[in-house]
Amino acid sequence: MIHNVRKIGLSAAAVSLMFVSACSDDEESFDLKNPDSVVESYTAAWENRDGERMADELNPDDLEEVTASEIDRAFNEIGETLGISSLTVTFESQRHIWEADEEEAEGEQETEPLTSLTYPVTIEMETMLGARDYRTDVYLTRSGEDEEWLVEWQADHIFTGMQEVTDRLELVTTGATSITRGEIFDRNGEGLAVNGEYVDVGFRFDRIKNLDEEVEKAAEILAMEESELKSRATYYEDDPDWFSPVMSMPMSDPRVEELQEAEIPGLLTSVQEGGRVYPYSYAAAHLTGFLTEIRADELEEAEWEGYHTHSLTAADGLEKYYEERLRGQLGEEMTIVDENGNYRELLTSTDPQDGEEIHLTINAGLQRSLADAMGDEAGSAVVMDPATGEVLALVSRPYYDPNQSYLGTSSRERERWMSDERGVITARFAQRYVPGSVVKPLTAAIGLEEGTLDPDEIIRIEGRDWQPEGDGWGDFRVRRVEEHTEDVDLRSAMLYSDNIYFAQQALEFGADTMEEWAEAFGFGKEVGLDFHITPSQLSNDELNRETLLADTAYGQGEMLMSTVHLASLYTMFVNGGDLVYPVLDLNETAETDTAIISSGTAETILETLYAVTEDRNGTAYRSNPGHSFRLAGKTGTAQLDGAEEDEEAEGDTIGWYVSTDAEDYIVAMMIEDETGGTVVDRVNDFWSRIE
């Protein structure tokens, strides 16, 4: 067990105290013949940790044992150790005792005068460890010709348990190496990040029969250079049965079985406990993240005292975001020791606590199905329950195996991941991208709510390019995918994803209105997950020109959105206008903004989204989607070069597709370098996997 003694270097000036005192600031205003006044002055100095003023009230005999500077030093040491932020000292008046004594003294009958008084005192302080309160007494004696009351010094006026002014307070933490890290589970108790076993592979020289042959055979299985493998086979003459480690690997690594079947005499596999296992591997890699050994700079900067040189800390994902809950709590012992460090008294003690068991809203089966449907193309996808906001699956691609990353396992596969220029570690569901046409339902909803859009109105649109009359737009023109029709209403505009129609609608209700609705839709706002999801933006600054407003209407311009935020916005169309934000912790309830849009608007939009998937001309229509779900959806192909959206475009594009069965699931998927049309097939693959 590791015991860490806390040494905290706060300057005395950094410890800000709050004083609660009933005495006057005038040090000469108290009456030394009034014991309550003496105690009031003494406790005021105590609150201020003013050793000089406290010493003024002490019996001169005590000043032979303790000095004002020693009191100041002791107060400073305790203040620095505890990080005291406020200190209050209150006493119980003994006026009824000493006034009764005075009355007796003034009477005819002779009585012995009162020579001592005991004042019960309560000390309350706020520290970096929380509230620390204790009780003690202040003893007064009266002597001398002036019959003045003087305080008898006690070391516990510095801190409880102290017997001498030279005593010290020590805070010792325990359990740094014995705490068990908490685990992460899905909604059904399936492990996502759990404690388990791994395999160590290594040589034992006393079993090697032919080193060169065995190294050659092992190198082929382990995908290592023979020279590197041989260099790790360390021989110790005094310890020939020494296990010389070569590699650690997950229990699930197929090479474990290959090595066992190869029967290499000097190469052993040894199962080790105390590891971290990610059962859903690549399917949940970016969700869970993985642990890695703490770096020297991280250890130096760490505020938590439980970390040590061999600690594992979270590199990313929920392992990182739940670190404080997963790592557990250290035990603590608060003791008083003398100036030589000898134990005097144990004041408080708490046991170390293992980390929490965290249950997510994730459905591990859906997580794997979504990951498999995405393949290894760069992108992200989310599955949400539209009624509760529960995130049921959250995937980023390209993938990696967190088990190998955690163990530092060497493999050709890991080498491929690490050299992938697309960035395998990047959690794309936490990033934001140009959304394209998947925002057209939002533009339509604004127009319907503002009364500027009549869903049944036929608008005449001729040609493939358009700009309003006048000179303000220069060469900028809105371009639609095809000249499918000249008579366009809301249904056909959504069906064909007509950029011109939605640009005209945005110009109708204006930039100020769009900015107001963007705020209502949660743009610029954290979406509520434990991950930091980069907030979506409507524009870099403001919609300060018509061309930018028109571009924004169909998801281009400067608009950027995350997959998670997009999915949550589509809950409005399923929930009759209520916007449900996502939630990932099974014990939490999602934030809901009720009636963001009317139920009538939500119903109108939803019907147009059904047309996108069911009408033969719809961008998401498939004669055989591979499943029997009735879906409403919207595709999008965002252009990264600033051009208008084109579903058939090639090059730097982002393909989007949002679909819902309007009951259980909303699925939003984004794939880089694809079009919305191809993403439809990937999402349909997911629906077919869960049917």
Residue 10: the pLDDT is 31
pLDDT band at 487 (very low <50, low <70, confident <90, very high): very high
pLDDT band at 267 (very low <50, low <70, confident <90, very high): very high
Residue 304: the pLDDT is 86
Whether pLDDT at 364 is above 70: yes
pLDDT digits (tens, 9 = 90+) for 389-435: 999 999 999 988 999 888 887 777 777 777 777 888 899 999 999 99
pLDDT band at 105 (very low <50, low <70, confident <90, very high): low
Q: Percentage of the chain with pLDDT > 90? A: 68
pLDDT digits (tens, 9 = 90+) for 165-195: 999 999 888 888 889 999 999 999 999 999 9
Q: Do domains 3-165 and 183-350 have the same CATH topology?
A: no
Whether pLDDT at 663 is above 60: yes
- List residues bridging with 670 in a β-sheet: 380, 656
**CATH class of segment(s) 183-350:** alpha beta
Residue position matching structure tokens 């009824």 = 96
d(CA 458, CA 613) in angstroms, rounded, equals 22
Whether pLDDT at 55 is above 70: yes
State mean pLDDT over 327-338. Answer: 92
Residue 130: the pLDDT is 84
State mean pLDDT over 71-90. Answer: 92
Burial of residue 238, with CB atoms counted within 10 A of its CB: 0-12 exposed, 13-18 middle, 19 or more buried: exposed
Residue 407: the pLDDT is 87
In contact, 355 and 181? CB cutoff 8 Å: yes
Whether pLDDT at 20 is above 70: no
Query: And the tokens for 454?
Result: 């009549």
According to the per-residue pLDDT averaged within each range, which of 55-64, 109-118, 513-522, 636-645 is highest? 513-522
d(CA 226, CA 431) in angstroms, rounded, equals 42
pLDDT band at 28 (very low <50, low <70, confident <90, very high): very low
pLDDT band at 616 (very low <50, low <70, confident <90, very high): very high
In contact, 161 and 153? CB cutoff 8 Å: no
CA distances from 5 to 335, 338, 354 (A): 11, 15, 20
Residue 194: the pLDDT is 97
In contact, 443 and 506? CB cutoff 8 Å: yes
The domain ranges of the chain are 3-165, 183-350, 431-690
State mean pLDDT over 572-584. Answer: 97
Instruction: Domain 431-690: give its CATH code.
Output: 3.40.710.10
Whether pLDDT at 330 is above 80: yes
Residue 18: the pLDDT is 33
Residue 31: the pLDDT is 66
CA distances from 361 to 190, 275, 310, 367, 394 (A): 11, 25, 32, 11, 10
**CATH class of segment(s) 3-165:** alpha beta
Q: Assign 177 to helix, strand or coil.
A: coil
DSSP 8-state symbol, 355: P
Q: Assign 501 to helix, strand or coil.
A: helix
Residue 15: the pLDDT is 32
Residue 363: the pLDDT is 98
Q: Assign 298 to helix, strand or coil.
A: helix
154 or 19: whose pLDDT is higher?
A: 154
State mean pLDDT over 454-482. Answer: 91
Residue 9: the pLDDT is 32
b/e map of 24-56 (b: 16 or more CB within 10 Å)? eeeeeebebebbbbbbbbbbbbbbbbbbebbbb
d(CA 375, CA 368) in angstroms, rounded, equals 11
pLDDT band at 16 (very low <50, low <70, confident <90, very high): very low
Q: Which of 487, 515, 484, 426 is nearest to 615 (CA)?
A: 484
The chain-wide mean pLDDT, for the chain, equals 89
DSSP 8-state symbol, 113: P
- Whether cis (ω within 30° of 0) applies to the bond prior to 441 is no
